[in-house]
Amino acid sequence: TAEEIAEAIYWLASDKSSYATGTTIDLSGGR
């Protein structure tokens, strides 16, 4: 959903994602 994508973008822009390097984030809604 659009909300899930927005949450992922928010997390990526935050300091909490600083340890996530070389990671693929799948936003396919489980499909």
Task: Give the count of domains, the chain.
Answer: 1
Q: Which residue, 23, 27, 24, is CA-closest to 7? A: 27
- Read off the DSSP letter of residue 22: S
Higher pLDDT, 28 or 31: 28
pLDDT tens-digit series, residues 2-28: 888 898 889 889 998 888 888 888 877
User: Is 2 part of any domain?
Assistant: yes
Range of the domain at 20: 1-26
Structure confidence at residue 13 (pLDDT): 92
Structure confidence at residue 15 (pLDDT): 93
User: Is 31 part of any domain?
Assistant: no
Within 10 Å of residue 15's Cβ, how many Cβ atoms?
6
User: Is 22 part of any domain?
Assistant: yes
User: Is 11 part of any domain?
Assistant: yes
